[in-house]
């Protein structure tokens, strides 16, 4: 089974071949193949909505195939990424830095970014939550080690560590 969130190549190729067959008078086969029974029968009876629908479907096929495969994964009890759903989590421990550990990790992240850090970058670097990172950064700002600014291009709130 495909574990990525994109259509499998074989199903995609088969769908395009069936769509091309619609231009020979057998419209809708690609829709039937991808589980769209109602519109597949409509395309079959109207020559692919008078061939206009066949042309439009050439652009829509990747989404049709992806939707069909996602539905198959859900029926099989898998997430869209192919991971099992509703499985009990056993002994899951997530490392979450606290207090001084979080502050040190934020300083290291800021140092690697030239003395500037956004909350999102802090979350990514530490694995802590947005509220935790923002709280620590504001504490550091109150103590005078950090000043707050906005990125001139994106407008994002940026914390500047002037000693780094």
In this predicted structure, the answer to whether residue 7 has a pLDDT above a threshold of 70 is no
> Is 119 within a domain?
yes
114 domain-assigned: yes
Residue 36, domain extent: 9-75
Q: Residue 20 falls within a domain, yes or no?
A: yes
Mean of per-residue pLDDT scores for the chain: 84
pLDDT band at 43 (very low <50, low <70, confident <90, very high): very high
**Please, are residues 143 and 126 in contact by the beta-carbon 8 Å criterion?**
no
CATH number at residue 106: 1.10.10.10
Please report which residue ranges of 76-154 form alpha helices under DSSP H: 99-112, 119-126, 130-142
Residue 2 maps to a domain: no
Any alpha helices (H) in 28-98, and if so which ranges? Answer: 29-33, 37-45, 47-50, 52-75
Q: Is the pLDDT of residue 146 over 80?
A: yes
Contact (CB, 8 A) for 158 and 115: no
Residue 91 within a domain:
no
Q: Is 128 a domain residue?
A: yes
Same domain? For 69 and 110 the reply is: no
Which whole number is the average pLDDT over 4-9?
66
The number of domains in the chain is 2
- pLDDT of res. 38: 95
Same-domain check for residues 71 and 108: no
Domain presence at residue 131: yes
Looking at per-residue pLDDT, the higher value among 95 and 70 belongs to: 70
pLDDT for residue 14 is more than 80: yes
pLDDT for 1: 43
């Amino acid at each position: 089974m495909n574990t990525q969130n994109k259509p499998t190549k074989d199903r995609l190729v088969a769908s395009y071949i069936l769509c091309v067959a619609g231009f020979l008078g057998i419209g809708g086969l690609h829709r039937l193949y991808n589980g769209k029974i109602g519109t597949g029968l409509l395309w079959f009876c109207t020559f692919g909505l008078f061939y206009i629908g066949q042309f439009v479907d050439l652009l829509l096929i990747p989404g049709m195939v992806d939707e069909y495969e996602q539905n198959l994964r859900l029926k099989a009890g898998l997430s869209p990424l192919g991971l099992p759903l509703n499985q009990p989590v056993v002994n899951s421990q997530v490392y979450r830095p606290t207090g001084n550990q979080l502050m040190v990790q934020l300083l290291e992240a800021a140092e690697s970014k030239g003395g500037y850090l956004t909350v999102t970058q802090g979350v990514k670097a530490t694995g802590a939550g947005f509220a935790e990172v923002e709280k620590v950064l504001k504490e550091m700002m109150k103590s005078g080690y950090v000043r707050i600014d906005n990125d001139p291009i994106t407008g994002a709130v940026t914390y500047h560590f002037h000693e780094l």
